[in-house]
Amino acid sequence: MSEIPMTYVLFVSFALFFIGAYGFLTRRNMITMLMAVELMLNAVNINFVAFNKYLFPEKGDGVFFTIFIITIAAAEAAVAIAIIINIYRKFKSIDSEDADTLKW
Amino acid sequence: MNLSFLILIPLLTLIGIMLVNGKTARVVAFVGSLLQLGLAIFLLFAYMHERGAGNVSSVLFEETHPWFSQWNINYHIGVDGISIAMILLTSVVLVGGVLVSWKMEYQSKEFFFLLVLLATGAFGFFISLDLFTQFFFFELAVVPKYLLISIWGSGKKEYAAMKLVLMLMGGSSLVLISILGVYYYSAVGGVGTFDLKKLGTIGFSHEIQMFLFPMMFVGFGVLSALFPFHTWAPDGHSSAPTAASMFLAGISMKLGGYGCLRVAMVLFPEAAHAYSPYIIILACIGILYGALVTVKQRDIKMMNAYSSVSHCGFVLLGMAMLTKTAIVGAVLQMVSHGVMTALFFAVIGMMYERTHTRMGDQMGGLLKVMPFIGTVFIIAGLTSLGLPGFSGFVAEMTVFVGSFQVQDLFHRSATIIATMSLVVTAVYILRAVGISLWGPIKNKEFELLPDATWNEKLASIILIASIILIGSMPFWISDLIAKTTETLFSAVIK
Amino acid sequence: MSLLNYISMMRFEVFALGIIVLLLLVKIFSEKLNTSFILGFINVALVGLLVAGFIGHPHGNIFGRMFLNDGTIMLEKQIITFATLLIFLQANFWLKKQENCLEFCLLLFSVLIGMYFLVSSGNFLMFYLGLEMATIPLAALAAFDFGRMRSAEGAGKMILSSAFSSAILLFGLSLIYGTTGSLDFNEVRDAYSSSALQLFTLAFVFVGFAFKISIVPFHLWTADVYEGSPVAVTSFLSVVSKGASLFIFMTVLYRVFPMAQETWVHILVLLSAITMTIGNLFAMRQTNIKRFLAFSSITQAGYILIGVAATSSLSMASVIYFILIYTFSNICAFTVVSIISDRNGKEDIDDYKGLYKTNPLLSIAMMLAVFSLAGIPPTAGFFGKLFLLTSGASSGLIALIIIASLNMIVSLYYYLKIVKAMFVDKNESPIEKISIDISAKTVLIICFVGILAVGFISFVFEYIHSLSFGL
Amino acid sequence: MQNFSYISLVLIIPIVVFAITGLFGKKFSAFSGILGTVGMLVAACLSYFAAYQYFIVGGRADGVYPTIIAFKQTWLQFSPNLSIDIGIMLDPISVMMLVVVTTVSLMVHFYSIGYLHGEERYATYYAFLSLFSFSMLGLVVATNIFQMYMFWELVGVSSFLLIGYYFEKPSAVAAAKKAFIVTRFADLGFLAGILVLSFYSESLDFQTIIHRMMDYNSPIFHNANTASFMGLSALTWALCLIFIGGAGKSAMFPLHIWLPDAMEGPTPVSALIHAATMVVAGVFLVARLFPVYSQVPIALDVVAYVGIFSAFFAAIIACTQTDIKRVLAFSTMSQIGYMMFSLGVAGGYWGEKGLGYSASMFHLFTHAMFKALLFLGAGAVIHYVHSNEMGDMGGLRKKMPITNIVFFIACLAISGVPPLSGFFSKEEILTAAFNHNKIIYAVGILTACLTAFYMFRLYFMIFWNKSSVSHHEGEGHHGEAPFTMKLPLIILGLATIVVGFIPFGKYISADGSILESEFHLNLAIIAVAAGLLGITIATAFYMKPSEMPAKISASIGSIYNSIHQKFFIDEIYLFVTKKIIFNLVSAPAAWFDKNIVDGMMNFISVVTENTSDGIKSFQSGKIADYVLWFFAGVILISLLIVFAF
């Protein structure tokens, strides 16, 4: 079975990363922004796994890293959502444009 | 003679002021400053004695302790003739300043603390032989001025204080850059050095000198009111409380002059030669323009502030002429102007305290009401316009004679232009005397004003005595300075 | 290697972890919490941590070079601990009134552990873990003031931007991994070849740090979060978080990317100049003291970058030294802010008018702090700043130094504005006399001593220098 | 060689008196006058003794009077060559000046006891007087040109202080300021001259300078004479510049404007400073450097023409003034003009050519006596009348007999009527002028005529003219003058009569050798005739009240007016100072400083603040913007890394 070349995988991950970044920059809903970050993190995960598998299969560094990223992303999301809920309580909105009392 | 006492005594005074309460602070400050004056005089005699005993090293009473050895920063102190003159000046002005502020009511403890802190900076600056230490003391003598002016000052004090500090800080930034440049370029494999004595022997290349000298000179020059960076002076001096004005014009401006001379010109002799025409031009503008602007001032404190710009021009002119006599004259002018302007500000302060106006034309006839203060004012004025017998004459004439020794049209025209300020000086001084002291009493309320109190009298007498001591017997101080100048500026003097 | 050795190597982490566990147990088993007991306990624990650092100097690495330890790292950890202690002491008064005091302590210690791991890390994995551990709980801390809108808003901005930043950092790390085949610092260094892709990744990694240190243009969250957070958190952010990030930033640059030195020095110089200028320009116009201090800390970060860019062992020593001094000065300033803000919620610079009349001690503390930040002698800040500049000069960064000196003038302007408000301006209704609690007073005294003594006593610098390294 | 060290006492006494009366005068105000007078008496006696010892006992060595340095001390060392020395140099002219200064000063001290009796600042007055005496004496004995300059400034300031003695009068304040500033302006020239001269002669010492500049072959002289600037040699420049200084002090045209105003001071002061001593300092200066001047004909010509013009110019103005002190002031100026041109026409250094030099010094000496007498007499009149205006006087000869007599003597003397002192000195001057330059001689004669006219106009207006002065009658006025005022008048009157017979040329001449002045009868007759003509006209016009003067002045209308207004020189000065310097230079400079130079600094701060305000939207408060910037930063850095660095 012929392997899918690494570049294909990398293409997906890069695309995912920039889609995530784009999403983050354009979305105003904070939850969506958080999801965009998750996309970016997943792109990184793909990267790590792909590099590990294709280039350095003798050690499992990349895969381990991926696991940690997933964990931490979860934690991050938890805290973020907690904060977003708090914001919603105060601002009655989770639109990032609305929460702009602190500026200049 | 342990020079560190010169810093130690002010420091102890500072601690003393912190510990005592309110009114006693002035006593502590006075005792401290008197001790310091005594020490300075003792230092003078010790120095002369050493020299008399045949000690020919360029600086005496040297002391070196490594401080930050990684950076090659040492606590390196020592004195030569020029710094002794400056130390004497500082201690005299300090005593005068403390005495004049004797009746300070508002937050007097803080006031004296800041005043002595300023003096500490000045003393440290004059005895340091390490650029880092010197810069430390230099900056120490800048920022307390902000508080002194903005808290105890008058007029548009906050603006003036801010402008003063920022401009001086600008100057000191330039100095800092050049010091760091010196440090960088003096590094020959490894770390550079801040030691003035060592740096003096390095001999920077022409390009480096041309690059660093203007920064350092302008940086220090801001402090000694180099045109067009002088505008902090009029506002700052006139808004400051009496003692602070005395200190500002009397000492701080001399820090700049001393730095230009003792640091910039010693380190970069070639560049000093190359840039001297420009400095001369700026100095001449400062002298004449300062004097002309002074003529227009109604506010007598402002008048003296602008006249300081003019007088400090002589300092820069003298040093830029690069002859031994002119440099001696520049130093003499620093000392002379320091004492004179301190006296002037002191007496203007006394008048202001009584009349609550600084406008000369609102006073009038004060000589009749307060003969002592009036007389002191006239003496200060006469010193300012360079009357023989007072210090100003000695200094200015030395500058002129020294300047005229350079045999070309440019330098000579500059000298002649500078001499013209003598007339303009006479104009504004006499005008001030005429409108504020002489003439009929304009305000009936002034007729009951009291004359000087004991502390004011004492302060005036001390300052006048110094003026006369220099003015009628200049040989000792000119000798003191001339000997140092010869050794120190051998590379610079044409 | 015995267990004892492991514990000795990881004493800070183990100790902190123990405290967390203890706190959790307390939380579980006690019905009604005695706040002052907890506070006292934490205070003692932090002092214990600090003392623990002085016993022995373990060198070496464990977990397959995941975790490193040497003199420098110990010193850095001690500075972090010390700063945390001061901040905690400063916050005692405020915490006493909080119901969720325990949670605050828990989160704080989590952050602390994260930072310990961060500075100790020898591997990008550990580095990432430490970084996230030091960030996520901090965001939670920033939102600690439930009642206030601003607290929530600040925290939201922080967590979102930090998530974005860590995503970018991670992307960079993944590429590093892809190009070098390792995550270990040493191995990455050895495999690093300055290829275009690797340089590209450097930018991504760089940005991750820049976010934490709040370098322009990655600083925009800083001011908002500083303003929104409780004072204690703000000071923690500005001092400890920034300090720890800078420590590891230097380590990574010097240890992992020496090959690309030329590249990142250029970037550092550029960013340093921009950072101090922008920081200054914004600081000038602030009216809220916390926001003001936020921009001031951005400016300070700009100055620190000079030292980082100078890449000598002296410059590294200068950076650590500066951070130590900065700790004293900033904590001093924040302590004053917190004392006033906790009593009557006043955080505007205008509220400080006439402070000297009623609260001389606070005003003098504030004055010393801002003078130290501005680098005015005789405060330690003068020495710190001058050493940074000197290290820059020794490496020939003359242009940067010129910009820095000009910026110092501007910064003096706004620092003096604070001083002016307190000492010069008249106020009809100044802040009334405040009785300062003992813990805050202790902090002020320690900071006084620090600000006045650290500069003069050359021993401190010598000690730091003996531990530092450079390129 | 005798010991002249006691001469330093002549200087020390006044300065000590100054210190005592200045510091403690308040405590024993009345005593200060006596102290000052006694001190000056001692000084005068010492001077007389010194003169006796110098001229009579010491006599000549090698045919010339020796120059004796009684005392010399380096005061300020500029460079190995240049130093200010303080010392006492005795040579014929300085000894003569010592005598003149101490004599007149003594008289004035004594006179002032009465004149200023009861003044509030009596002690201060004596302090200033002593300070002046000290400075003037220091000036005349100077060994060093810089010493002279120093004392020169000091006399200037004492004059300033004394003119401003009545400091509550605005006019006195203005006059004092004017006197000081104008002379100060002139002193610039002096200073510049010193700088040039000292540079080329490499010395500040009079003797050395003279010695070096007299030596044609020395490289120093060669240098000074060839280095040229704008067509004139350095030496010429130096001497002309120095002469500006002298002209300022001696109130030569156009620097004379301060002198008439200086009459605001107390009259004895005018007698001492503005008639007898300080104003002749300029003459003395030129005389002191005469050997050098004699090398440079151009400089001497300048001196001569300025002198003669001033003499004539002042005489014309004097004819129209109505304030008696101002008349005297212009007459002083005119007489000093005589002395100046006399020096100027002394074309050479040796022998007969040096006649002008002797004559000038002679005239200085005699003029000091009779002009002091005139002023003191005028003082007595003013003291009596309480007015300076001639219109308020008249017919006083009965009331003030002694004053009348001495005033008359003095007027005759100044008009050059034999055998009074003025005749001899003026005759010598005119002879010298005749020998040298006929034009100057002619103008000199004309001036002599005018002098006689205005002096007698003055005399008659005061003492004759109206038969009685009505409004002073009924006031129960005090008598003519107290004894202290009369005695000096008498002494000076006697001096005026006798000093003319001193064979001056024997003692003082340019080269130090004996100058036997020949008496030229025909020249003397012309001079005397000119004087008598003037007197006659004055007698005709003013002895009795008459319409003639008014008619004449009306007939020449505008000319008279411009003369009366002193040719509007004051106005021109006022225009230059007030309008041009003050309004066109100073005010714009102040504006420039405030708005441009300072504005530049403020501008920087404004720009910074505006920038700060302008970029505030950078921190918009919206998280999306923050992240956008963040991302832009990432891209930018990546691009920079990859492409730029």
Mutate to test the interface with B, among D167, D578, D600 (most CBs of B within 10 A): D167
Rounded to whole angstroms, the Cα distance separating D362 from D503 reads 9
- Rounded Cα–Cα distance for residues D312 and D314 (Å): 5
- Least CB–CB distance from D624: residue in A28, A102, A103: A28
Give the SS3 label for residue D121. Answer: coil
d(CA D327, CA D566): 11
Q: pLDDT value at position D478?
A: 60
Q: Are A77 and D596 in contact (CB under 8 A)?
A: no
> Which residue shows structure tokens 């552990």?
C113
Report d(CA D611, CA B207) in Å as an integer: 35
Give the other-Cβ count within 10 Å of D116's Cβ: 21
Q: How far apart are CA C381 and CA C297, in angstroms?
A: 13
Q: What is the pLDDT of residues C89-111, one digit of tens each?
A: 999 888 888 888 888 999 999 99
Residue D336 has which token pair? 């000093």
Residues of chain D neighbouring B386 (CB-CB closer than 8 A)? 153
D615 shares contact with chain A (CB less than 8 Å): no
Q: Do D154 and B389 touch (CB under 8 A)?
A: yes
- Contact assignment for A90 to C227 by CB distance below 8 Å: no
User: How sure is the predictor about D517, in pLDDT bands with cuts at 50, 70 and 90?
Assistant: low
- Tell me if chain B has a CB within 8 Å of the CB of D560: no
Distance of CA D120 to the CA centre of its chain: 28
For B66, the 3-state DSSP assignment is strand
The answer to whether the CB of C131 falls within 8 A of the CB of C162 is: no
Its domain, for residue C299, covers 257-471
Kindly state the helix (H) or strand (E) to which residue D70 belongs, with its residue range: strand D68-77
Higher pLDDT, D480 or C436: C436
- Smallest Cα–Cα separation from D173: which of C4, C376, A2, B368? B368
Residues 6+ apart with CB under 8 A from D211: none
Predicted confidence (pLDDT) at residue D470 exceeds the cutoff of 80: no
- Which pLDDT does position C136 carry in this prediction? 92
Average pLDDT over residues C419-439: 87
- Judging contact as 3 or more Cβ pairs under 8 Å, the answer for A and B is no
Average pLDDT, chain C: 89
Interface predicted TM-score of the whole assembly (ipTM), two decimals: 0.89
Touching pair C, B by Cβ (3+ pairs < 8 Å):
yes
DSSP state of B130: B
- What chain C residue is nearest to A50 in terms of C-alpha separation? C178
CA angle D626–D630–D636, rounded 5-degree value = 145
Chain B CB contacts of C424 under 8 Å are 147, 150-151, 158
Q: Which tokens go with B362?
A: 């609102």
Report the alpha-carbon angle D458-D460-D465, nearest 5: 130
- Strand-pair partners of B73: B68
For residues D148 and D164, is the Cβ–Cβ distance under 8 A? no
Strand-pairing partners, residue B195, are B130
Share of chain D above pLDDT 70, in %: 94
CB C321 within 8 A of CB C387: yes
Tell which residue, B21, B73, C225, D259, has the closest CA to residue A103: C225
Contact assignment for A30 to C163 by CB distance below 8 Å: no
Tell me which of D67-76, D135-144, D222-231 is least confident. D222-231
Closest by alpha carbon to B463, among B339, B331, B311?
Answer: B339
Joined tokens for residue B262: 């003792």
Q: What's residue D2's pLDDT?
A: 65
Tell me if D640 and C278 make a contact (CB, 8 A cut-off).
no
Q: Which amino acid type is present at position B159?
A: Y
Burial class (CB in 10 A: 0-12, 13-18, 19+), C56: exposed
Picking from B105, B91, B107, the residue whose alpha carbon sits closest to that of residue B5 is B91
Interface check for C285 against chain D (CB to CB < 8 A): the answer is: yes
Give A54 to chain C, closest Cα distance, Å: 9
Query: What mean pLDDT comes out for the span C17-44?
Result: 85
D478 shares contact with chain C (CB less than 8 Å): no
Query: Does the residue C408 lie in any domain?
Result: yes
Q: Give pLDDT, residue C269.
A: 93
- Determine the pLDDT at residue B176: 92
Helix, strand, or coil here: D71? strand
Q: Do B430 and D181 touch (CB under 8 A)?
A: yes
CB D110 within 8 A of CB D483: no
Is D476's pLDDT higher than 50? no
What residue has token string 């975790």?
C67
Which spans in chain A are helix H? 6-26, 30-54, 61-91
Residue D358, pLDDT score: 83
Check: CB of residue D145 under 8 Å from CB of residue D82: no
pLDDT at C1: 64
Which chain B residue has its CA at the smallest distance from C411's CA? B166
Which residue type does C380 have? A
The rounded distance, in Å, linking the Cα atoms of B324 and C386 is 35
Cβ distance A83 to C155 less than 8 Å, yes or no, reads: yes
Give the containing element (helix H, strand E) for C454: helix C438-456
Contact D337, D312 (CB under 8 A): yes
| Identity of the residue numbered D358 | S
Angstrom distance (rounded) from CA C98 to CA D447: 108
* C5 inside domain: no
Q: What are the two backbone dihedrals, phi and then psi, of residue C469, each rounded to the nearest 5 degrees?
A: -140, 165
Instruction: Please give the span between the terminal C-alpha atoms of chain B, in angstroms, as a whole number.
Output: 35
pLDDT beyond 80 at D212: yes
For the stretch C375-385, pLDDT in tens is 988 899 999 99
- CB of C404 closer than 8 Å to CB of C306: yes
CA angle B206, B209, B215 (to 5 degrees): 155
Which residues of chain A does D622 touch, with a Cβ-Cβ cutoff of 8 Å? Answer: 96-97, 100, 103
Nearest to C218 among D608, D623, D633 (CB): D633
* pLDDT in the model for residue D473: 46
Whole-angstrom distance, CA of residue D347 vs CA of residue B205? 60
Whole-number mean pLDDT of chain B? 88
Residue D19, min C-alpha distance to chain B (Å): 13
In tens, the pLDDT along D174-205 reads 888 888 888 888 888 899 998 888 888 888 88
Say if the Cβ atoms of C164 and A37 lie within 8 Å: yes
DSSP annotation of D16 = H
DSSP H or E segment with residue C181: none
φ, ψ (nearest 5 deg) of residue B155: 70, -150
Chain A residue with minimal CA distance to C167? A41
Q: What is the CA radius of gyration of chain A?
A: 17
Interface of A with C (CB under 8 A): 17, 20-21, 24, 30, 33-34, 37, 40-41, 43-44, 47-48, 50-52, 55-56, 61-62, 64-65, 68-69, 72, 75-76, 79-80, 82-84, 86-87, 89-91, 96, 99-104
CATH 1.10.287.3510 fits A29-99, yes or no: yes
Distance of CA D183 to the CA centre of its chain: 8
Calpha distance C422→C354 (Å, rounded): 5
Q: Do D630 and C262 touch (CB under 8 A)?
A: no
**Chain C residue numbers touching B147 (CB-CB < 8 A):** 419, 423-424
**Which residue in C136, C149, C167 is closest to A79 by CB distance?**
C136
Q: What is the mean pLDDT of residues B345-374?
A: 86
List of chain D residues whose C-beta atoms are within 8 Å of the C-beta of residue B292: 581, 585-586, 589-590
Nearest to D96 by CA among D132, D52, D148: D52
In a domain, C191, yes or no: no
The answer to whether the beta carbons of residues D497 and D417 sit under 8 Å apart is no
Chain D positions touching A104 (Cβ under 8 A) are 616-617, 619, 621
Q: Which residue matches tokens 């003063």?
A: B164
CA distance D606 to chain A (A): 19
| CA distance linking residue D550 with residue D317, whole number of Å | 16
The rounded percent of chain B whose pLDDT value lies above 70 is 99
Q: What digits encode the pLDDT tens for the residues C396-418? A: 888 999 999 999 998 999 999 99
With respect to residue C298, please indicate whether it lies within any of the assigned structural domains: yes
Minimal-distance CA residue of chain B relative to D605 = B163
pLDDT (0 to 100) of residue D1 = 52
Number of separate domains in chain C = 1
pLDDT band at D474 (very low <50, low <70, confident <90, very high): very low
Distance, CA of D618 to CA of B456 (rounded, Å): 57
